[in-house]
């Protein structure tokens, strides 16, 4: 059965590939991006099956307007993909206040407000699926990505809570957690000037690795998108979709370490209860 998808951040990367693949299989797409002209060729190819609207997810009033217009124009929307975002790279004290605000407003607040905007519509139509694009960085952390991780850990906590609130209305969530993937993400990373004091630290090491191309990027963007498409056919929805060998190994190691540390503190935790 034909589905209608609403996808943010469709100018490049996973969002663009996802829109192309959804259209190729005969579904409809409501695509949003900051520069709609980027999709002119795709629009010419697919006509009315591609609905395009400009959207900057940091503008909450625009998020609500565009979401409302999409549901009004297209009727039912089956799958919402919250994908818009970018990376901010630098030691925490290297980042400017404006860079911090922009990262939080785009990746975290923008995703939260998109989800809030679509919920009444999904509830009204009796349900739907939301795919929130997170990252392996929603469960692990690298030096120099502190604000990026703050947004991904933050949106994962938000989705964990909201998914419980709206489950009775037939609305399901999946957190998509790709590892390093061959998209345009690396080219779009914002990097402030480095502080020399961090040169011989883990921060400096990872900065050099990124600059020299030594940071391993093994993920295949098309395979990630195909996994996202496949996930929508499963019910109940998978809570998380870990994509890539690097993501699997990194997340598994982090979870095992945290569980071990938690177990080692069991007596201390229990002793903190009131008598």
- Which active-site residues does the annotation give? 134, 148, 152
Burial class (CB in 10 A: 0-12, 13-18, 19+), 51: middle
Q: Give the CA angle between residues 30, 76, 135 to the nearest 5°.
A: 50
* Cα distance between residue 63 and residue 114, in whole Å: 6
Peptide bond preceding 156 in cis form (omega within 30 of 0)? no
- Among 237, 236, 216, which residue's Cα sits nearest to residue 228? 237
* CA dist 270 → 158, 246, 258 (Å): 27, 35, 17
Are residues 231 and 241 in contact, defined by beta-carbon separation less than 8 angstroms? Answer: yes
Are residues 82 and 94 in contact, defined by beta-carbon separation less than 8 angstroms? Answer: no
The residue whose two tokens read 């061959």 is: 182
Are residues 60 and 113 in contact, defined by beta-carbon separation less than 8 angstroms? Answer: yes
């Amino acid at each position: 059965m034909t589905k209608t998808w609403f996808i943010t951040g469709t100018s490049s990367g996973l969002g663009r590939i996802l829109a192309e693949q959804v259209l190729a299989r005969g579904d409809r797409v409501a695509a949003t991006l900051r520069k709609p002209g980027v999709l002119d060729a795709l629009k010419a190819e697919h006509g009315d099956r591609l609905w395009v609207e400009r959207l900057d997810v940091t503008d909450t009033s625009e998020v609500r307007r565009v979401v409302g217009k999409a549901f009004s124009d297209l009727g039912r929307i089956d799958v919402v993909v919250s994908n818009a975002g970018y990376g901010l790279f630098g030691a925490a004290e290297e980042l400017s206040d404006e860079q911090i605000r922009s990262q939080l407003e785009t990746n975290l607040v923008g995703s939260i407000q998109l989800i809030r905007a679509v919920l009444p519509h999904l509830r009204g139509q009796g349900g739907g699926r939301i795919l929130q694009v997170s990252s392996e960085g929603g469960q692990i952390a690298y030096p120099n990505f502190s604000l990026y991780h703050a947004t991904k850990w933050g949106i994962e906590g938000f989705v964990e809570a909201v998914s419980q609130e709206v489950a009775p209305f037939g609305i399901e969530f999946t957190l998509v957690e790709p590892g390093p993937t061959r998209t345009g993400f690396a080219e779009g990373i914002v990097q402030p000037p480095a502080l020399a004091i961090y040169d011989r630290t883990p921060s400096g090491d990872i900065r050099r690795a990124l600059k020299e191309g030594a940071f391993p990027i093994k993920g295949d963007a098309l395979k990630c998108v195909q996994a996202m498409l496949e996930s929508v056919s499963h019910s109940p929805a998978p809570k998380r979709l870990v994509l890539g060998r690097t993501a699997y190994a990194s997340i598994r190691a982090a979870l095992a370490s945290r569980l071990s540390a938690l177990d080692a503190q069991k007596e201390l935790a229990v002793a903190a209860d009131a008598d």
